[in-house]
A and B are shown apart, each in its own frame.
Chain A
Amino acid sequence: MDAPVTNATTSGSTWPLSWTRRWEKPMQVTVEAVVRKFGTTAALHGISLDIQPGELVALLGPSGSGKTTLLRILAGLDAPTSGRVLFDGDDALKLTVQQRNVGLVFQSYALFRHLTVLDNIGFGLRVRPRSRRPSRNEIKRRALELLDLVQLNGLEKRFPAQLSGGQRQRVAFARALAIEPRVLLLDEPFGALDAKVRRELRRWLLEIHNKTGHTTVFVTHDQEEALELADRVVVMSEGKIEQVGTPDEIYDEPNSPFVFSFIGESSALPVHLAEGRVWLDSRPLDLPQGNLPSGPAQLFLRPHDVEISVDPERALWGTISTHRRHEGARRVELSVGLKNSRVEIEIPADLRLELAREIAFLPRRYRLYPTTPQG
């Protein structure tokens, strides 16, 4: 349906003319109390988020966390049951998919197999209503420019079937960039690629982001990827936001057991907080309680953040159940405490060990999370 001069779109509403120049500046995206229910189950439980212009934000979480649902709501492929989504302060929910001008890149690339690389990239420009459509030559020029940006020069006449996975994904990027989107949305963009290509493309994505400066939101379940790329990471679980922060904050100051265990490696111990100390099985340890309320809690630690030259009286100790080499060090699995909690710690590789012996250790860095009454 070709648009008459007034820029009417399929839904019949007119495209606010004030938006036509917005693409030049990266956009701010605001999510307010977005709930998405499917029948009686809720995929999103009231998500609120503020994404700054030009930011590269990762939505990180396991499957079922709602991250893809949120992304699709931003794209317009889905609508929330309640809540608001604002693009630069304006209500985005009243815009159809076509009007939102978001660049969406799928995990499976979703390239049009019957079109050449060049035609794929230029597609978004060719389908514009006549009044906004550039000339054929201009479309070709822009497509070639983008091909250059994604470093695929020379491949314009190829078909997607003739490209490798990494090349296809870059074409998908170029195609999304061609429409001069206000925000880039990436749905596990590297999920379908093998590890080496994934790492290359991560570096490449960072380059592109720095060059173009688009506000970018990408969904991933790979925490390494999120921590490496994002300006800020949004950790999600079961439809809720667990924590939002820079990669450093997420890694060093996780605010919940879920975040601690989801990011990096970790072990957990059930402990007790009282009299200013941490207690394990009625034995006080050399670890302060801090400002935390007394009562049961969980102690989370990472394998490499432990000290083993410690006074055994006030330290944790566990019985060695197995050990294995882990790159330059050794990982030892211990059975700790009366409850036989499984804890993994890392020690220098050259220490000699015997099974069933005991090791005393104290975590250098750790977090304590008081257990909630039902937990």
Chain B
Amino acid sequence: MAGARGLALRKPSALPGFGLALGFTLTYLGLIVLIPLGGLVLKSATLGLAGFLDVVTGPRTLAALRLSFVTALIAAVVNAVFGVIIAWVLIRYRFPGRRLLDAFVDLPFALPTAVAGIALTTLYAPNGWIGSWLAPLGIKVAYTPLGITIALIFIGLPFVVRTVQPVLEEFDRELEEASATLGATRRQTVFMVMLPTLMPAILTGFALALARAVGEYGSVIFIAGNMPFQSEIAPLLIIIRLEEFSYAQAAAIGTAMLLISFGILLFVHLVQAWSRRRFGQ
């Protein structure tokens, strides 16, 4: 049991239950998370490195991964820009309905993805509320990558707003005042003093939105055209491979997606560590 003399596994503490708590936690994590994920990696390893790369760089897989990633990237960028604006408006201004709007931002977190999926599809279909506006302009949204991007914008919005809001709220007014006394116009203060300080939070929100969007399924599957090589997202390809019983291939694609997600996470980590070093905390 942890804490035995001589093992120095943890600092001695008067509180009981460490072994029980940690043991349960690790068992739970092991059974639910680590072993299954290990199985995934193991399965894709059965292809061997060459086989793995073959699957992952196959034209259809590549098209799917590229689609998932590019639409997620564009959506995350849109979310970064508008998320900052929305956070700014919610924190810095007072207007009727502000509190309501603030609460509403969390809707994508709370709404089941399937519901969002069918709602968005209906909205942007050629005869939908928005789709019928855009159709005469020649803009097709539903069943195209544009539709996927819009769904991903929906999904990722709260990430940016919620990571930027607390930082903006605690932003030291005196920095703005100092900037003004030094002669900076309001625009200069916002772009040269405030946004750079907010940048780590914006980047974090952006990355979180990106990571979520890359793997998104439910909100996207209805509005995507699901045509191979054109509008087929990577998670769908995994399901198709599963249904074909090509488990190893499915696992390989899954592993590739995990690597992308972890890469994004690592990026977040590095940004936060860098900003902590630079700016101090």
Query: Interface on A for B, CB 8 Å cutoff?
Result: 1, 9-10, 75-77, 97-98, 100-104, 106, 108, 110, 112-114, 123-124, 127-128, 159-162, 175-176, 179
Given contacts A123-B184, A127-B185, A175-B178, 4 further A-B contacts (CB under 8 A): A1-B187, A106-B174, A114-B279, A176-B182
- The answer to whether A123 and B179 touch across the interface, beta carbons within 8 angstroms, is yes
Residues of chain B from 204 to 228 with CB closer than 8 A to chain A in the complex:
none
B89 sits at the interface (CB 8 A): no
* Contact pick for A98, options B184, B197, B278, CB 8 Å: B184
B172 to nearest A CB, angstroms? 7
Q: Is the CB of B279 within 8 A of A9?
A: no
Residues of B within 8 A of A (CB): 172, 174-175, 177-188, 192-193, 196-197, 199, 278-280
**Residues of A with C-beta under 8 A to B181:** 75-77, 97-98, 100, 102-104, 176
Q: How far is the CB of A355 from chain B (nearest CB, A)?
A: 48
Contact status A108-B197, CB under 8 Å: no
Interface centre among A10, A75, A98, A175 (most CB of B within 10 A): A98
B interface, over-half SS: helix
Query: Given A113-B279, A161-B279, is A127 in contact with B184 using a C-beta cutoff of 8 Å?
Result: yes
Interface centre among B180, B187, B192, B193 (most CB of A within 10 A): B180
Given contacts A113-B279, A114-B197, A114-B279, contact A104 B183 (CB under 8 A): no
Can you name the residue of chain A whose Cβ is closest to the Cβ of B278?
A159
Contact at A113–B178, with CB atoms within 8 Å? no
Which of B172, B175, B182, B185 has the most A CB atoms < 10 Å from its CB? B182
Cβ contacts under 8 Å, B185 to chain A: 1, 9-10, 98, 127
Q: Which residue of chain B has the shortest Cβ distance to A75 in the bound complex?
A: B181
CA distance A63 to B178 in the complex (A): 22
The answer to whether A114 touches B196 (Cβ under 8 A) is yes
Give the chain B neighbours of A124 by CB distance below 8 A: 182-184
Q: What would 12 A/B residue contacts be, using CB atoms closer than 8 Å?
A: A1-B187, A76-B180, A77-B180, A97-B181, A98-B181, A103-B181, A104-B181, A113-B197, A128-B183, A159-B279, A176-B181, A179-B182
Chain B residues with CB below 8 A from A77, complex form: 177, 180-181
Least Cβ–Cβ distance between B8 and chain A, in angstroms = 34
| Cα distance A45–B183 in the bound complex, in angstroms | 30
A-B pairs, top 5 by smallest CB distance, nearest first, are A161-B280, A124-B182, A110-B178, A127-B184, A110-B174
A110 touches B175 (CB 8 A): yes
In chain A, what residue has the closest Cβ to B188? A127
B174 nearest in chain A by CB position: A110
Q: How far, in whole Å, are A175 and B177 apart by their CA atoms in the complex?
A: 14
Cα A110 to Cα B180 with chains together (Å) = 12
Q: How far is the CB of B188 from chain A (nearest CB, A)?
A: 5
How many Å lie between the Cα of A100 and that of B186 in the bound state?
15
Using A114-B196, A114-B279, A161-B279 as known contacts, say yes or no to A123 and B174 having CB atoms under 8 A apart: no
Q: Determine the distance from Cα of A9 to Cα of B183 in the docked complex, in whole angstroms.
A: 10
Nearest chain A residue, comparing its CB with the CB of B186: A10
Contact B178 A97 (CB under 8 A): no
Residues of A within 8 A of B172 (CB): 108, 110
A268, B129: Cα distance in complex, Å:
81
CA distance A161 to B186 in the complex (A): 25
Cross-chain contact B182 with A127 (CB below 8 angstroms): yes
Distance (Å) between the CB of A318 and the closest chain B CB?
49
Decide yes or no: A112 and B184 within 8 Å by CB, A159-B278, A161-B279 being known contacts: no
A98, B178: Cβ atoms under 8 Å? no
For A114, the chain B residues whose CB sits under 8 A away are 196-197, 199, 278-279
Residues in A with CB closer than 8 Å to B280 are 113, 159-162
Q: Which of A98, A103, A162 contacts B180 (CB 8 A)?
A: A98
**Contact of A161 (CB < 8 Å), options: B192, B196, B278:** B278
B193 to A: closest C-beta gap in Å: 6
Give the contacting residue for A112; candidates B175, B186, B187; CB below 8 A: B175
Bound: A106/B178 CA distance, A: 8
**Assembly CA distance A161 to B280 (angstroms):** 5
Chain B proximity of A38: nearest CB distance (Å): 17
Residues on A with C-beta less than 8 A from B278 are 113-114, 159, 161
Cβ contacts under 8 Å, B184 to chain A: 98, 123-124, 127
Report the bound CA distance from A2 to B2 in whole Å.
65
